[in-house]
Each structure stands twice: as C-alpha cells, then as structure tokens.
A = this chain, B = another copy of it.
Amino acid sequence: MSTTRIRVSRRTRALLPQNRGRARGRTLATFLILAAIAVAGNLVVPEPVQADGDSFAVLSPAVVSQATALRDKALQDDRAWDFVEGLTVEVGPRFPGTAGDRRGVEWALATLKAWGFENVRAEPVTVPKWDRGTATGRTVSPFPQPVVLAALGGSVATPKGGLEAEVLRVESMDELGALGDGGADGKIVFIDERMERTRDGRGYGAAVAKRGGGASLAAEKGAVGLLIRSAGTSTSRIAHTGGMRYREGVRKIPAAALSNIDADLLAAQMRRGKPVRFHYELTTRDLGTAESANVIAEVVGRERPDEIVILAAHLDSWDLGMGAVDDGSGCAIVAAAAKLIAELPERPRRTIRVLLTANEEFGLSGATAYGERYADAMDKHVAGVEADFGAGRVWALRSRVPDDRLPVIDDLAKLLAPLGIEPQGNRARGGADLRPLRQALVPVFDLSQDGSAYFDIHHTIEDTLDKVDPEALRQNVAAHVTLAYIVAEYDGDLGRAPE
C-alpha cells in the first residue's frame, strides 16, 4: 500500500492546493497508521484503487490517498449498521412531538457522545404535533368488506362515527381538476393513480402532488372526503402515509391512503358498474406544537474550524414504521462517515458537522430552525450533502458548484467510480433539509441512492430494520466519507453555487 501508485495530472493546476509538499509528507505516515489500525482490528483493508495515469487534476496525492483509504475502510466498517440497529431496536418510531421523538434525540446525543464527537448538542426546534389516532374503512355497497388505509399526515378527522358517501374515481389530479363545478358534490373522491417504480424516484413527484394537494382540489369540486391510492409502490397490503396540506380558504376534508391492494379492490368493485359507497373513520387530532431538537455533532477542522461541511439526515420518522430506512439509515450513514474522519490521526482542514434534523417529515421544522439560527454563518458553510433516500446503494454523484470548480468534482468522481457511482452533472438539488444552504447558494451534492425498492416501504409500517442491507449501507458510508473528506480537506474553496 503506497501513495506512489497514484499519479497526478500535470495538466490542470489552476485550483491546486498550495501546500502539496506538506500533504505528501503526511501521507505515508497516515497509511502506516491506518494499516496498523487495520491489522489490530483484524480488518482486511482492500488495496486502494489504482488511479489511471495523471487522472487527478486538482487533488493532491496525499488527499487522494487519504480519501481512498477512508473509502476502502468504510467498506469494512459496520458502525452505520450498529447505529441504525440501535436506533431502531432501542427507539423505533420518532414522529415529531412524540415521546419516541424525544427518546430519539436523547439516544442520538448519547450515541454521538459515546462515539467521541465534539460539540455534541441539541438545538431546540418547535414542531407541529398531530396524532393519527385510528383509521378504519370499508366498502359498504354493493360489496361490503373492510380495507386497509392510513390517514394522510395532517388530515382532519372524519365526523365521529365516520363518513359515508358514494365514491367518484378519477385517475389523476388532472382528471380531478377537469371536473366542472360541483362535479364531486357529496362524493368521496378516489384518486386512483399508480406510482411508477424507478431507480431515481421520479414517480414520487406525481404521487406527492395527489397526496399533498388532492384534498383541497377535491373539496373545491364539492367532495366530502378524499381517498388516494397510496403514494408508494408497495405490493404488500400496507398503506403509505405522508404529509398533506389544506389550501387556505378551502373546506378541509378528511384524507386517507388506501393500500395498493385495497385500491385494486375498490377499482375492481367500481368496474362492476354499480355505485360504490364507502365508509371511513379517521380519529386524527391536531395537538398544536411540541418541542423537539436538531442534534449536532462535529469533527472540528484543524485549520479552518469555522468553515462547515454539513452531513445531514433527519432523525424524525413517520409514526407507522420504525424509521429504519427513512431516515435512520441516513443518520447512520452520515454519523459513520464522520466517525471515520474523526478517527484520522489528523483532522481535515474544515469542520465536519453532522446535522440530524427534527421534523423533516411533517414540515421541515428542523431545517428551517437551522437556517434561522445559522443565517449569519451561511457564508461559512462551504458544502452540504444529505442522506435521505433510504438505504439503497449510491449510483450517482451530482454537484452544484461554480463551473470553474468542476475539476474538483471530476477528481471526486474518480474516487467514487470504484463504488459504482457515476457523475451526473452539476445540477444537484440537495435534500429537503439542505434548503437553507441551497437558498444561501452553498454548494450542495447529491449522492443518489438506488430508490427502486424505497417506495415499497416509504412511510409505512414496513420501514423496519430488515429492509436495510448492511453491504449497501457500507457502500453509502464509503461514498459519503469520500465526499466529506474531499470537501473538508480541499485547500481551495468551492465558492458559491450557481442559482
């Protein structure tokens, strides 16, 4: 294992670090120490990738070697698994404002302290509090039978004893919108739109549109209730919840999601041609607000400690499952990546800040609070990446940096390529929790996870530990630690992101 195998391009020098000699001097020592650690821990450390000749345009050999070593060590490290297993078994659901949410914050604080991070703290966040209560539903006539459904997050309750009406089926928001005034008078609108299974999750856009806005659109057409086919691809008999909102000034009607199987049932009953009546009861309650917290842990930078690289995920989860995938895995990935960096003999230049936000799911309270608290420090936030798309393998890298910094991204992409990650351009959107960073034009990155199976369990009772693949989790940590190390150590700067 030697850094001499990695050769650096002699072509592009504009953004090269100023102190390569020093970095180079550290490299061999770093590797010897890592090798010693690996031997002591009985780990098999894979050979660092053989970079092809003069392929690194910007990064110094020392940085490349260190990033490579971190990446490869991550592929042997199961602490992300330990994190998500612990969070899932010892806490489970962490719905904003609940006791589980509070226990999640305590658990994360205790764990991150035990892992040896610096500046571990909880920063208070006020979150909305909503209780799902119970949800029951059934077809009434002509073919009565019970169905599986779940209230959408934020829905009002039905009248006590439930709500019964004839079902009006539409296949899309467009079809609903095209109804004339009163076109759904007195009806329960059923939006029977099926979500597409894709690797990149692009089917979720339409799914969110009906889930978030279906109730108000249906109410405008006269409907008394809303049912949607679950915004998810599950083939199990489980319903997908998720946030919805009422438009100002529009009558609020109770909104629920049917499992895909029960949506099939309702559609099949309606194909018989007779009016189908449906009954459901939701006992949801709006309970105002409650206190939660963003949890923060840091690896303080050696040279520019005030410059912050954000590794974000959200600590809260929906109430139905255990939040193992969404987003326990994301928390585990970023915590484990930061932990690997904390264990280096020398810290990177900048501070790595692990940010586990409160209430992403039900209104982005934590991200908003973070943005307000750190508004004046946004110019010191140099980059952000968020893990919040499950536990599938990372397959794509997207950046959002000025064009003249793209050589850095090219180098990063080369380091990620052995993980099966391909560069996908410079239009990264960042995760929902990175919104304050995006708005401040902080460079953001997407390490896009394979979402093919994500929407089978997203926002359901099946968001459980068994859905997490330890190997895919390690690959995620490898990708995140590589990216985090590069942006924290790189001694140029990434500038501000294009709008």
* CA of A466 to CA of B268, assembled, Å: 12
A261 close to B (CB within 8 Å):
yes
Q: Is A156 close to B, CB under 8 A?
A: no
A441 to B: closest C-beta gap in Å: 41
Knowing A265-B89, A269-B89, the reply to whether A237 touches B145 (Cβ < 8 A) is no
A interface residue count range (under 10 / 10 to 19 / 20 to 34 / 35 or more)? 20 to 34
Query: Least Cβ distance of A15 to chain B in Å?
Result: 48
> Is A464 a contact of B237 with CB atoms below 8 Å?
yes
Docked CA distance A284–B261 (Å): 26
Cβ contact within 8 Å between B462 and A237:
yes
A235 beta carbon closer than 8 Å to chain B: yes
Q: State A490–B235 Cα separation when bound (angstroms).
A: 45
Least Cβ–Cβ distance between A318 and chain B, in angstroms: 13
Pair B268/A89 contact, Cβ less than 8 Å: yes
A89-129 CB contact bits vs B (8 Å, 1 = yes)?
A: 11111000001100100000000000000000000000000
Do residues A261 and B466 form an inter-chain contact, with CB atoms below 8 A?
Answer: yes
B238 touching A100, Cβ below 8 Å: no
Task: Give the complex CA separation of A236 and B99 in angstroms.
Answer: 26
User: Which residues of chain B come closer than 8 Å to A265, judged between CB atoms?
Assistant: 88-89, 92, 322, 464-465
Are B145 and A322 interface neighbours, CB within 8 A? yes
The distance from the CB of A410 to the nearest CB of chain B, in whole angstroms, is 42
Interface contact B261-A464, CB-CB below 8 Å:
yes
Tell me, yes or no, whether A46 is within 8 Å of chain B by CB: no
Does A374 sit within 8 A of B, measured CB to CB? no
Q: How far is the CB of A147 from chain B (nearest CB, A)?
A: 9
Specify which chain B residues have a CB less than 8 angstroms from the CB of A92 in the assembled complex: 143, 145-146, 265
Give Cα distance in the complex from A92 to B85, angstroms.
38
Residue of B nearest to A271 (CB): B89
Is the C-beta of A461 less than 8 angstroms from some C-beta in chain B? yes
Interface pair B238/A237, CB less than 8 Å apart: yes
Bound form: Cα–Cα A203–B268 in Å: 35
Question: Once bound together, how far apart are the Cα atoms of A188 and B269, in whole Å?
Answer: 43
> For the complex, what is the distance from the CA of A99 to the CA of B144, rounded to whole Å?
9
Contact of A93 among B88, B93, B145 (CB under 8 A): B145
User: Complex Cα distance A88/B265, Å?
Assistant: 9
* A residues 123-160 in Cβ contact with B at 8 Å: 142-146, 148
Q: Tell whether, in the assembled complex, residue A143 and residue B90 are in contact, meaning their CB atoms are under 8 Å apart.
A: yes
Contacts of A322 in B (CB 8 A): 145, 265
Q: How far is the CA of A85 from the CA of B144 in the complex (A)?
A: 15
19 residue pairs A–B, Cβ–Cβ below 8 Å: A89-B268, A89-B269, A90-B143, A90-B269, A91-B143, A92-B143, A92-B145, A93-B145, A93-B146, A99-B144, A100-B145, A148-B461, A236-B238, A237-B321, A261-B462, A261-B464, A261-B466, A264-B466, A265-B322
Chain A contacts to B: CB under 8 angstroms:
85, 88-93, 99-100, 103, 142-146, 148, 235-238, 261, 264-265, 268-269, 272, 321-322, 461-462, 464-466
* Contacts beyond the supplied A89-B269, A92-B265: 7 A-B pairs with Cβ under 8 Å: A89-B265, A90-B143, A91-B143, A236-B236, A236-B462, A237-B238, A237-B462
